[in-house]
C-alpha cells in the first residue's frame, strides 16, 4: 500500500540512490503517523506546501461508499463550476515557481552559452613573497582549450530510480472481467501446441509415438473429407468396372454356349441328314443291286461302265481339239506339277549346243552359294524353291483326275498307271536308280524333260 | 423514607445486577445477532410486519433500559441500528437499496437531443486518420494527423485542404494546439514531439526524450509547458521555450493513451492501458489520485467545456468524473458499445463515443442515457474491414462532429436540423443495474 510499509522499505537504501533528505523522511514519518492515528490528522502541517494535497489525499484515502457510487445518481442537480480566475491564477503562480525552480536547476548544468567555451585570457600581477617591495610580474592565465566533442572523462553512474510514493489506490473495478471464465474445453480449443519440426530438432524434444501418430492422424483428418470422397469414387469406379467385365464375360459365355449349341445342332442335323442319305443310298443300292434278277444287275453295271467310257471318250475328244499348251497344262495339272507358263509356251529355251560338257558337280554344287551352307545338295533341288510353300493348285482335283484315270486303267485292264500315284516331278519318273547313276545321267534326263517342248 | 431509600438502593442494586448480567450476556452471545443460522430458523416463518414489530420491541427495550446505555454502549446499539434493513426485509437488503436507487433513476427524465447524421466525407490522407484537433482560437480550421506521417490542416467550413505538414517519419498519434502561442504540437511514434509554427508553417522544435513512441500530447492552458506521454509509460513535461524536459511522471504500468492538462489541480490527468487514470500533482511530481474503476485500457479522456468535469472511456465503460477530487459522477449506459477509441463532449451536454467497430454512440452527459447509435458509412472504395473510428472531436460550437476513420477519410457529422422529440425520438431511457456498477 505504501512504500514505507512495504518490504523494500525495510531494506537498506540502494547504493547509488539519491540521498533522501531528512525533511523527506520526516514527511514520511508524519504521513505514517497520520494514517495510524486519525485523530491527529488536522494537527500536522507539513512544511512543503507542494506536498499538501498529496498528503491530505493520502490521509483521506479510506474507501468509502461514495468513492464508487456515482454522484449524479445519488443526488440530482450536481453543479460543478469551472475554476475561477483567481484559483487559476494562484495555481499558475505556485506551479510556475516550482517548475521554474526545477528548470533553472536543470538548465544550469547545461552549458548553453557558446562564449563560455572560448579561451579567456586573464592577467594576474604577482609579486615575489620574499621581497614584498620588489617589482610586480604580470602573468597571463589562459584556459586550456578543450575539444567540445571529446567524450566525458568521468563515468556516469547509473542511478536507481527513487521509490515512487503513490496514494492509496484501492481497486474499484470488478476483477475477473465480469465473471467471464474459460472452461477447460474452451482453453483446449484455443490451445496451440508448440511446434516441433519433423526435420530439425536442435533442442532435442522428444515426441512420443502416440502423440506423433495423433498429430499425423490429425493432419490426415483435416484432409479426410476430400480423400474419403476420392476413395469412394475410385472404389465405385472399380466396382462398376468389375461388374461390367463380369457382364461382358457372362454374355460372351452365353454367346459361346449358344454358338456351341447351334453348331452341335447343325452337326446333328447334318449327321442325321448324312445318315438318312446313307441309309437311303444303301437302301437304294441295295435296292439297285439286290434285285432278284442278276442279269439285270450285270446289265446295269455294264450300263454304268459304258456311261463312264462314254464320258472318257468325250473328254478325249475334247482333248484332241486342245492346243499343245493346253494339253501340257492339263498334263502338268493332272500330275500335280506346277509348270510355268513360259515353259509351256516354249519361251524358256535352253541353249541347244550339245558340245558344251558340263561338269555335273556344278549342278549339284551350284546351290552352295556360301560357306555357311552345310549340305551339298539342297533338299528341294528338284522343286523350284519359290514354290515350296505355294499351295498345290487344286491337288484335290488332280487326285480326282488321277483316280478317274486309274479307274479307267482298271476298267481297261492296263497296268501302266500302277505308279501314277507317285507325285514327284516328271524328271524323276524314270530315275529309280542309284545316286551315282543318276548323277551320270543328269544331262540326259534334262534333255528328256525338255524334249516335249520341241514336240 | 428509609423504606424508600432501601427500595431505591434495592432498585439500583437490581438494575446494576441486571446491567451486569445483561453485559455478560451480551459479551457471551453477541455474535448470535450477526450469525445467520441461529436466527434463520424462526425468521423465515415471520412476515415483514412481524419482523418489524420485533425490531421495534428490541429498540424500545434498549431505549427504556438505562443501565444498558451506561455499560454496553458502543458495542450494542450501533450494529442493531445499522442492521434495520436486513432485520426487517431480510438478507437481500442491499439489493433493495439498489432497486430503490434505480427507481429514482427511472423517475429522472433525460433531456432530448436531436440525432446526428453524416454531412460530409473528406478524403485526402493516405493512411488511417489517427488524431484530430480543432483550432481553439477561432473555429475556422482543424488539423488531422495520420498514419501516412503527415499532418493536414483543413478548412472547417468548406472541408478544403489548407496545408500539409510533413516532418515526422512515423504515424502521427497526437495533436495539440496552443491557445496562447501560435504553435501546434504533434506527437508521433518516431519518439518525437514536434512543435509547428503556424505562422511560418514549419517545424521549429523537436522534443527528444521519450524512450518509445509518443501517443499523446497536450498543452497546459496557463503555463508554457506541454505534457506528452506514450509507450514508455511516463508522462513528460517539457518547457516549450527551451525544449528542456521538466518533469517525468512515472507510475503507470502500461503505455499511456491520453494526457490532458487542466488549469487547476490536478493539472495533468493521464489514462493508460493498465486501466488506471492518474491525476498528477505537478508541484509534488507524483500522482495525487488514481482512479481504478475501469478494468480495461482507458483509451480517451474528454473534458467538458462548461463544467469542471471529464469523461473517460475504456471498453464498454464510460464514466464521468469531477476533476477536482476524482469523484465519480455518472456511469454511462455503455454496455453494448464495445471498444471505445474516442470521446467528445459538447456544450449541449452530449457525449460522443466512437468505437472500433465503426459505431458512433451519443449519450446525455447528465444522466448517462444512450440516446443514439449510428454506424459510420463506408467511404467509397474502402473495405468493410476498414470500418472503425479512430478519433473524433466536436468543433468549438459543438454543432459539428469530426471523426477520423481507418478508411482514411474524415467525416463531418451534424445534428438533424428540423428534428423534434416527436419526429426523432431518442432511444428508450432504461437505467439498468449495470449502470450502477462499481
Is-contact A145 A119, C-beta < 8 A?
Answer: yes
Q: Which of A88, A108, A173, A175 to mutate to test the interface with B (most CBs of B within 10 A)?
A: A173
Residues 6 or more apart whose CB falls under 8 angstroms from that of A207 comprise: A196, A215
Chain B partners of A78 at a C-beta cutoff of 8 Å? 329
Q: Do B244 and A106 touch (CB under 8 A)?
A: yes
Q: Do A70 and B223 touch (CB under 8 A)?
A: no
Q: What is the pLDDT of residues A384-412, one digit of tens each?
A: 666 667 666 556 666 677 777 777 776 66
Cell matching residue B106: 427511472
Say which of A79, A99, A169 has its CB closest to residue B246.
A99
**Partners of residue B165 on adjacent β-strands:** B151
Average pLDDT, chain A: 71
A67: closest CA of chain B, how far (Å): 6
Q: Is A255 left (phi over 0), alpha (psi -120 to 50) or beta?
A: alpha
User: How far is the C-alpha of B27 from the C-alpha of B316, rounded, in Å?
Assistant: 50
Q: Do B331 and A164 touch (CB under 8 A)?
A: no
Q: Do B251 and A164 touch (CB under 8 A)?
A: yes
Q: Which of A47, A68, A165, A178 to mutate to test the interface with B (most CBs of B within 10 A)?
A: A68
User: How far is the C-alpha of A380 from the C-alpha of A397, rounded, in Å?
Assistant: 24
Cell matching residue B324: 477536482
**Partners of residue B195 on adjacent β-strands:** B185, B205
Q: Is the ipTM of this complex over 0.85?
A: no
Asked if the model's pLDDT at residue B119 lies above 70, the reply is yes
Asked if the model's pLDDT at residue B78 lies above 70, the reply is no
Cell matching residue A133: 617591495
In chain B, which among 12-71 make CB contacts under 8 A with chain A? none
Say which of A54, A81, A171 has its CB closest to residue B284.
A54
- Residue A156 is predicted with a pLDDT of 77
In chain B, which among 90-129 make CB contacts under 8 A with chain A? 101, 104-105, 108
Q: Do B329 and A95 touch (CB under 8 A)?
A: no
- Residue A287 is predicted with a pLDDT of 59
Chain A partners of B437 at a C-beta cutoff of 8 Å? 174
| Sign (positive or negative) of CA dihedral A240, A243, A249, A253 | negative
Pairing of strands B225-230, B245-250: unpaired
In chain B, which among 341-370 make CB contacts under 8 A with chain A? 366-368
Please, what is the angle between helix A224-289 and helix A209-222, to 10°? Answer: 70
Q: Which of A59, A92, A95, A165 to mutate to test the interface with B (most CBs of B within 10 A)?
A: A95
The H helix count followed by the E strand count for chain B is: 8, 28
**B291 near A CB under 8 A:** yes
Cell matching residue B18: 441486571
B71: closest CA of chain A, how far (Å): 24
For the purposes of burial, counting CB atoms within 10 Å of the CB of B127, is it exposed (0-12), middle (13-18) or buried (19 or more)? middle
Considering only CA atoms, which of A3, A367, A347, A273 is closest in space to residue A161?
A3
Q: Do B247 and A102 touch (CB under 8 A)?
A: yes
| A11 band by pLDDT with thresholds 50, 70 and 90 | confident
Nearest residue of chain B to residue A96 (CA atoms): B223
H or E segment and range at residue B394: strand B389-394
User: How far is the C-alpha of A421 from the C-alpha of B305, rounded, in Å?
Assistant: 144
Chain B partners of A173 at a C-beta cutoff of 8 Å? 275, 292-295, 438
| Sign (positive or negative) of CA dihedral A67, A73, A74, A78 | positive
Chain B partners of A172 at a C-beta cutoff of 8 Å? 291-293, 438
Chain B partners of A106 at a C-beta cutoff of 8 Å? 244-246
Q: Do A99 and B225 touch (CB under 8 A)?
A: yes
| Sign (positive or negative) of CA dihedral A58, A63, A64, A69 | positive
Considering only CA atoms, which of B320, B309, B257, B247 is closest in space to residue B281?
B247
Q: Residue A144, preceding bond cis, omega within 30 degrees?
A: no
User: How far is the C-alpha of A11 from the C-alpha of A9, rounded, in Å?
Assistant: 5
Q: Residue B318 phi/psi, 5° resolution? A: -115, 135
Is-contact B299 B340, C-beta < 8 A?
Answer: yes
- Residue A437 is predicted with a pLDDT of 47
Q: What is the pLDDT of residues A285-308, one digit of tens each?
A: 665 555 567 788 888 899 999 999
Chain B partners of A53 at a C-beta cutoff of 8 Å? 265, 281, 284, 288
Is-contact B175 B145, C-beta < 8 A?
Answer: yes
Considering only CA atoms, which of B275, B345, B287, B357 is closest in space to residue B134?
B345
Lowest mean pLDDT among A53-67, B144-158, B317-331: A53-67
Cell matching residue B147: 498514419
**Partners of residue A127 on adjacent β-strands:** A136
Higher pLDDT, A360 or B123: B123
Q: Give one DSSP letter per residue of A379-414, joined into a string.
A: TT-SS-GGGSSSPPTTHHHHHHHHHHHHHHHHHHT-
Asked if the model's pLDDT at residue B91 lies above 50, the reply is no
Q: Which CATH superfamily is domain B116-415 in?
A: YVTN repeat-like/Quinoprotein amine dehydrogenase (2.130.10.10)
* pLDDT above 70: percentage of residues in chain A: 55
- Residue A168 is predicted with a pLDDT of 79
Q: Is A395 left (phi over 0), alpha (psi -120 to 50) or beta?
A: alpha
Amino acid at each position: 500500500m505504501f512504500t514505507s510499509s512495504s518490504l523494500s522499505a525495510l531494506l537498506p537504501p540502494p547504493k547509488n540512490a539519491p540521498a533522501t533528505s531528512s525533511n523527506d523522511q520526516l514527511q514520511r514519518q508524519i504521513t505514517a503517523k497520520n494514517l495510524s492515528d486519525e485523530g491527529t490528522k488536522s494537527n500536522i502541517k507539513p512544511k512543503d506546501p507542494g506536498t499538501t494535497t498529496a498528503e491530505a489525499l493520502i490521509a483521506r484515502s479510506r474507501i468509502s461508499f461514495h468513492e464508487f457510487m456515482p454522484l449524479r445518481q445519488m443526488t440530482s442537480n450536481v453543479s460543478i463550476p469551472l475554476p475561477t480566475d483567481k484559483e487559476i491564477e494562484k495555481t499558475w503562480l505556485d506551479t510556475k515557481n516550482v517548475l521554474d525552480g526545477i528548470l533553472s536547476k536543470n538548465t544550469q548544468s547545461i552549458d548553453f552559452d557558446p562564449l563560455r567555451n572560448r579561451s579567456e585570457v586573464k592577467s594576474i600581477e604577482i609579486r615575489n613573497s620574499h621581497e614584498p617591495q620588489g617589482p610586480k610580474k604580470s602573468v597571463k592565465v589562459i584556459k586550456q582549450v578543450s575539444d567540445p566533442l571529446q567524450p566525458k572523462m568521468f563515468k556516469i553512474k547509473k542511478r536507481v530510480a527513487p521509490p515512487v510514493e503513490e496514494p492509496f489506490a484501492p481497486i474499484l473495478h470488478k476483477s475477473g472481467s465480469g465473471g467471464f471464465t474459460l472452461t477447460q474445453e474452451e482453453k483446449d480449443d484455443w490451445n496451440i501446441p508448440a511446434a516441433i519440426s519433423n526435420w530439425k530438432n536442435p533442442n532435442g524434444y522428444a515426441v512420443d509415438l502416440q502423440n506423433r501418430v495423433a498429430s499425423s492422424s490429425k493432419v490426415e483428418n483435416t484432409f479426410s473429407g476430400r480423400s474419403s470422397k476420392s476413395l469412394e469414387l475410385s472404389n465405385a469406379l472399380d466396382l462398376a468396372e468389375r461388374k461390367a467385365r463380369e457382364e461382358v464375360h457372362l454374355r460372351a459365355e452365353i454367346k459361346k454356349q449358344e454358338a456351341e449349341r447351334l453348331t452341335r445342332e447343325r452337326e446333328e442335323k447334318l449327321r442325321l441328314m448324312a445318315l438318312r442319305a446313307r441309309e437311303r443310298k444303301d437302301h437304294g443300292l441295295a435296292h439297285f443291286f439286290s434285285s432278284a434278277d442278276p442279269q439285270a444287275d450285270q446289265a446295269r453295271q455294264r450300263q454304268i461302265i459304258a456311261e463312264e467310257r462314254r464320258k472318257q471318250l468325250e473328254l478325249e475328244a475334247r482333248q484332241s481339239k486342245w492346243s499343245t499348251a493346253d494339253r501340257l497344262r492339263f498334263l502338268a495339272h493332272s500330275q500335280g506339277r506346277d509348270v510355268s507358263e513360259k515353259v509351256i509356251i516354249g519361251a524358256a529355251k535352253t541353249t541347244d549346243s550339245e558340245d558344251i560338257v558340263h561338269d555335273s558337280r556344278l549342278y549339284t554344287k551350284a546351290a552352295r552359294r556360301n560357306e555357311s551352307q552345310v549340305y551339298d545338295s539342297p533338299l528341294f533341288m528338284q522343286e523350284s524353291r519359290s514354290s515350296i510353300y505355294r499351295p498345290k493348285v487344286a491337288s484335290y482335283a488332280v487326285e480326282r483326275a488321277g483316280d478317274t484315270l486309274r479307274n479307267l486303267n482298271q476298267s481297261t485292264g492296263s497296268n501302266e498307271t500302277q505308279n501314277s500315284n507317285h507325285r514327284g516331278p516328271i524328271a524323276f519318273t524314270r530315275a529309280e536308280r542309284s545316286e551315282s547313276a543318276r548323277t551320270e545321267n543328269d544331262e540326259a534326263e534334262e534333255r528328256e524333260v525338255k524334249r516335249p517342248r520341241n514336240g | 423514607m428509609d423504606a424508600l431509600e432501601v427500595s431505591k438502593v434495592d432498585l439500583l442494586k437490581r438494575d446494576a445486577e441486571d446491567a451486569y448480567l445483561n453485559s455478560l450476556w451480551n459479551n457471551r452471545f453477541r455474535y448470535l445477532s450477526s450469525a445467520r443460522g441461529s436466527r434463520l430458523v424462526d425468521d423465515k416463518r415471520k412476515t415483514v410486519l412481524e419482523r418489524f414489530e420485533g425490531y421495534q420491541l428490541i429498540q424500545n427495550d434498549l431505549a427504556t433500559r438505562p443501565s444498558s446505555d451506561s455499560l454496553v454502549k458502543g458495542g450494542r446499539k450501533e450494529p442493531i441500528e445499522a442492521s434495520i434493513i436486513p432485520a426487517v426485509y431480510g438478507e437481500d437488503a442491499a439489493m433493495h437499496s439498489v432497486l430503490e436507487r434505480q427507481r429514482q433513476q427511472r423517475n429522472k427524465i433525460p433531456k432530448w437531443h436531436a440525432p446526428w447524421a453524416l454531412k460530409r466525407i473528406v478524403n485526402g490522407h493516405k493512411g488511417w486518420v489517427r488524431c484530430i484537433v480543432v483550432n481553439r482560437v477561432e473555429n475556422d480550421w482543424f488539423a488531422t494527423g495520420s498514419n501516412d506521417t503527415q499532418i493536414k490542416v483543413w478548412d472547417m467550413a468548406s472541408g478544403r485542404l489548407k496545408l500539409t505538414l510533413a516532418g515526422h517519419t512515423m504515424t502521427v498519434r497526437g495533436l495539440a494546439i496552443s491557445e496562447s502561442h501560435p504553435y501546434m504540437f504533434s506527437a508521433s511514434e518516431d519518439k518525437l514531439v514536434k512543435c509547428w509554427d503556424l505562422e511560418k508553417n514549419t517545424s521549429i522544435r523537436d522534443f527528444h526524450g521519450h524512450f518509445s513512441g509518443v501517443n499523446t500530447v497536450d498543452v497546459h492552458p496557463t503555463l508554457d509547458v506541454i505534457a506528452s506521454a506514450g509507450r514508455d509509460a511516463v508522462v513528460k513535461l517539457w518547457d516549450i521555450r527551451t525544449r528542456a524536459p521538466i518533469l517525468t511522471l512515472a507510475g503507470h504500468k502500461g503505455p499511456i493513451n491520453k494526457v490532458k492538462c487542466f488549469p487547476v489541480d490536478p493539472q495533468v490527468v493521464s489514462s493508460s492501458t493498465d486501466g488506471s487514470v492518474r491525476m498528477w500533482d505537478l508541484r509534488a511530481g507524483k500522482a495525487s489520485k488514481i482512479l481504478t474503476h475501469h478494468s480495461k485500457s482507458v483509451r480517451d479522456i474528454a473534458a467538458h467545456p462548461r463544467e469542471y468535469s471529464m469523461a473517460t472511456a475504456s471498453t464498454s465503460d464510460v464514466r464521468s468524473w469531477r476533476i477536482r477530487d476524482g469523484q465519480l459522477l455518472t456511469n454511462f449506459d455503455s454496455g453494448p458499445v464495445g471498444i471505445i477509441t474516442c470521446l467528445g463532449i459538447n456544450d449541449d451536454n452530449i457525449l460522443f463515443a466512437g468505437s472500433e467497430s465503426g459505431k458512433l454512440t451519443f449519450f446525455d452527459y447528465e444522466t448517462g442515457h444512450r440516446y443514439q447509435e449510428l454506424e459510420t458509412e463506408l467511404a467509397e472504395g474502402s473495405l468493410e474491414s476498414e470500418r472503425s473510428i479512430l478519433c473524433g472531436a466536436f468543433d468549438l460550437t459543438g454543432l459539428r462532429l469530426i471523426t477520423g476513420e481507418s478508411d482514411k477519410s474524415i467525416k463531418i457529422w451534424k445534428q438533424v436540423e428540423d428534428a423534434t422529440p416527436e419526429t426523432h425520438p431518442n432511444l428508450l431511457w432504461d437505467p439498468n443495474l449495470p449502470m450502477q456498477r462499481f
